[in-house]
Structure 1
Amino acid sequence: MRLELFIALRHIRSRKRQTLLSVAAIGIAVMILMVSQAFMAGFTQELYGTTVDQLPHVVVTPQENEDYIHLYKNIVSNINSMDGVVAASPYLVGEASFKFKDKSRNVFIKGVIPSAEDTVARTSRDIVKGDFNQLEYTRNTIIIGTALAEKLEVQPGDVVEVSFPDANPLSLEVIGVFDTGTPLDETLAYSSLQTAQDFFGTQDVINGISLRIVDFNQDREIANGIKTLGYNAKGWTENNPEILRTIAIEKSSNTITLGFILLIASFGVVSTLNMAVMSKIKEIGILRAMGVEASGIRMIFLLESSILGLAGALAGVVSGAALALAIGSYPMPEEFYGISSIPVIVRFTDVMTIILIVFLLNLAAGIYPAQRAARLDPVEAIASH
């Protein structure tokens, strides 16, 4: 064991109370940082799971100055053959007026191929009454949202009158109800693609294609590949930038706040080491008189700072991870926005990053008291006591 490390450990052991307070201050700050980081990771994954996972990762729209995509079956086939594409769902969407008895509502009717739409948007998971795939085998049928069903006071089996200017009026039977927990429950209804084409009086055309891809982070690359086919295509990051902004704002505010907490804890180490320098002036003078270089004295206090920072970081990440997992296992009320428990994720990379940052931060915090100790004149230091 090198002399500097031996002396640093002796100093730490001789000041048990100050050592415990310093480690505790760092540990509490790191614990807060660890819990917050676990919540942030869980929040991000939950946000992706409840939004991005249900959104089309890429949306293809008609060419400029065109209302529809013609010969879409060939386009869908070409898109499905692209690397990274899981499925493509063609659709025709437009406005319609729903009327049942004396109730009426203006909504969007979206004609889809149910099997393809379910693969892309996993719509069947939101069905609370009926079968989404039944649209594929029936004509003049619709599936509506729970909020719209309540507004119109309809149940599966009821027939709704559907009309709109320049459209062909139809009588559509309600065969199911979906519940997404979003405003779509009041503004959207699904039909088969053929039923929508009959209603809007179009030929065999569509006005959009939804895509699900293997890695949703590659949405821009897939969209750029589709643009080479001559069609407009945008990824979810372009269509829904507010999701990324929300995550970025949360991360930034979280990082700034917790950074100040760590700085405050690090100043505790500076204070402790300054007190150590003041109380060990004579010992520092004796060591210098015995031939220990100034760099050796500096190394002693830097080692103390590093050991205190590392001990606090390890204690903080262990207690923080345990606390985060304990909070995450606590069940939430069923009505709490559909979340069964607080989303928490403890990642190994976060643990190692926090330990490294705290270690380096406390090492930097120890530079001033270490430099101060190294500059002491040995004769004056011995004579002063």
Structure 2
Amino acid sequence: MSRWLPFEWIVALRFLREGRLQTLFIVAGIAIGVAVIVFMSALLTGLQGNFIRRVLTAQAHIQLLPPKDTARVLGSQRDAAGVVREAPIVQPPLQRVKSIDQWQAVATEVRAMPGVLVVAPTASGSALVTRGSASRAISVIGVDPALYFRIVTVPEKMVRGSTRLTSTDMLIGTDLATDLGVDVGDKLRVSSADGVVQTLTVTGIFDLGSKPANQRTTYVAVRTAQSLLGLVGGVSDIEVTVRDIYAAEVIAQRITATTGVEADSWIATNAQFFTAVQAQKTSNTTIRFFVGLSVAFGIASVLVVSVVQKSREIGILRAMGISRGQVLRVFLVQGGLLGLLGSVVGSGLGWAALMLWQRYARNPDGTPLFPLAAEPSLFIASLLLATLTGLVAAFAPALRAARLDPVVAIRG
């Protein structure tokens, strides 16, 4: 088998076999480093994905809103000289439910933008729901199920009933259903601040994973909400999802610049959460860098010792006509093989650690804390990183070996 290998590989393998203990220790060190990279990367990626999934499955990436009413001066007054002066009292305006001007054209324009996936107009506002002597303040969200449920996955959160939404249907949260003592098929009386009253049938009960949301959030057909909230033909906001969630703020600014409509991205409305996500990404990168650096120094130190130990052999090889380039490649092959072997063992250790985590790290109800995706790309990237690190770390010792004078090396 060895006769088919290049000369550099034969010598490199022989040097590694002769220093078995050194080889074993450095491979073990690389394996531990790669295992840490694989485990921490998968763990932090899963944690980050779980956080984002919890936040973004209940809201759109971008929300387009109508302009807010501005503060105004309350009337005027006449002074003793008969001069009319503005009153110094400024009244904060009441933010009424308003429709986005020409929302159909805005929705069409946003839908055509690159990176935009779903555009769903909605009509939302506050109302009062009554059943017998019990009443609760609720948030009514009028939606087109075919579009909106691609943004907020309400069908996946259903506890009972269906997601059917005709003009007389209504979906409510589990806590609101408990408070009012209703179930699927019961009727509720919904009234708006303008005095519009409608009787709607509960067709489904959902659980959004948040008690406040389950107590207030309700879904109706968009036409029902328009009638109830006095938005005939209008919508109060437009929900947008994009392909790259981290580009949401850039796309939101582009929407505002193009359409003139205020656009808030999830990054702007969840600034602290986004900062935490970025901190996790930074910590993951930092861990990889320092682990890779320690692996590089470990490989370099072992190969420096190997050059010193093998200086006589190197001198003999050079005297026999071996070129400097071949000597250089001998030690580069050693570095690459050490990185490759360590990464293979480390990937196995990292995968085993991930399996143990998924098995024993559980919620009180027995479900996993969050899903961990052990993607093949992570193992491939770790393997390539460790191998490349081995080659880079081996360069300085290899260069030193190639520059050895044969006569000096043989004499010792």
| Short-chain TM bin | 0.7 to 0.9
Instruction: Quote the Cα distance in structure 1 between the aligned partners of 2:6 and 2:198.
Output: 89
Which of 33, 36, 39 is the equivalent residue of 2:40?
A: 36
1:180 Cα deviation (Å)? 1.2
Matches within 5 A, 1:292-303: 292=322, 296-303=326-333
SS in 2 for 1:95: strand
Matches within 5 A, 1:307-346: 307-321=337-351, 324=354, 332=362, 335=365, 342-346=371-375
Q: Does 1:276 align with 2:306?
A: yes
Which of 254, 265, 273 is the equivalent residue of 2:295?
A: 265
Cα 1:302–1:90 change in 2 (3 A) is closer
Matches within 5 A, 1:111-150: 111-133=142-164, 135-138=165-168, 142-150=170-178
What residue in structure 1 maps to residue 383 of structure 2? 355
SS in 2 for 1:69: coil
Q: Deviations over 1:252-275 (max 9, x none)?
A: 212212332232233332332233
Cα 1:25–1:150 change in 2 (3 A) is same
1:299 Cα deviation (Å)? 3.7
1:177 Cα deviation (Å)? 2.0
Instruction: Quote the Cα distance in structure 1 between the aligned partners of 2:361 and 2:251.
Output: 40
Instruction: Quote the Cα distance in structure 1 between the aligned partners of 2:116 and 2:409.
Output: 73
1:99 Cα deviation (Å)? 5.4
Instruction: Quote the Cα distance in structure 2 between the aligned partners of 1:70 and 1:279.
Output: 80
Q: Deviations over 1:191-228 (max 9, x none)?
A: 33344344434443221122456776775559846864
Cα 1:172–1:280 change in 2 (3 A) is same
| Preserved contact between residue 127 and residue 137 of structure 2 (Cα < 8 Å) | yes
| Preserved contact between residue 325 and residue 344 of structure 1 (Cα < 8 Å) | no
| Preserved contact between residue 142 and residue 172 of structure 1 (Cα < 8 Å) | no
What residue in structure 1 maps to residue 138 of structure 2? 107
Q: How many residues align?
A: 378
Matches within 5 A, 1:174-323: 175=202, 176-182=204-210, 183-212=212-241, 221=251, 224=254, 228-240=258-270, 244-292=274-322, 296-321=326-351
Cα 1:374–1:353 change in 2 (3 A) is same
The alignment's TM-score, normalised by the length of structure 2, stands at 0.73
Instruction: Quote the Cα distance in structure 2 between the aligned partners of 1:347 and 1:246.
Output: 26
| Preserved contact between residue 328 and residue 344 of structure 1 (Cα < 8 Å) | no
Q: Deviations over 1:92-151 (max 9, x none)?
A: 222334455676544322223444433443323322233332x3141xx54321233344
The sequence identity of aligned pairs, in percent, is: 29
SS in 1 for 2:122: strand
Instruction: Quote the Cα distance in structure 2 between the aligned partners of 1:78 and 1:296.
Output: 63
Q: Does 1:364 align with 2:392?
A: yes
1:281 Cα deviation (Å)? 3.4
| Preserved contact between residue 174 and residue 215 of structure 2 (Cα < 8 Å) | yes
Cα 1:214–1:286 change in 2 (3 A) is closer
| Preserved contact between residue 148 and residue 187 of structure 1 (Cα < 8 Å) | yes
1:12 Cα deviation (Å)? 0.7
Instruction: Quote the Cα distance in structure 1 between the aligned partners of 2:301 and 2:110.
Output: 64
What residue in structure 1 maps to residue 11 of structure 2? 7
Q: Does 1:25 align with 2:56?
A: no
What is the letter of the counterpart of residue 213 of structure 2? L
What residue in structure 2 maps to residue 168 of structure 1? 195
What is the letter of the counterpart of residue 295 of structure 2? A
What residue in structure 1 maps to residue 123 of structure 2? 92
The alignment's TM-score, normalised by the length of structure 1, stands at 0.78
Instruction: Quote the Cα distance in structure 2 between the aligned partners of 1:256 and 1:296.
Output: 36
Instruction: Quote the Cα distance in structure 2 between the aligned partners of 1:77 and 1:205.
Output: 15
What residue in structure 1 maps to residue 81 of structure 2? none
Which of 59, 70, 74 is the equivalent residue of 1:55?
A: 59
Instruction: Quote the Cα distance in structure 1 between the aligned partners of 2:107 and 2:396.
Output: 66
Give unpaired runs (5+ residues) of structure 2: 70-95
| Preserved contact between residue 56 and residue 236 of structure 1 (Cα < 8 Å) | yes
What is the letter of the counterpart of residue 148 of structure 2? E
Cα 1:194–1:375 change in 2 (3 A) is closer
Cα 1:215–1:26 change in 2 (3 A) is closer
- CA RMSD of superposed structures (Å): 3.9
Instruction: Quote the Cα distance in structure 1 between the aligned partners of 2:188 and 2:13.
Output: 81
What is the letter of the counterpart of residue 20 of structure 2? K
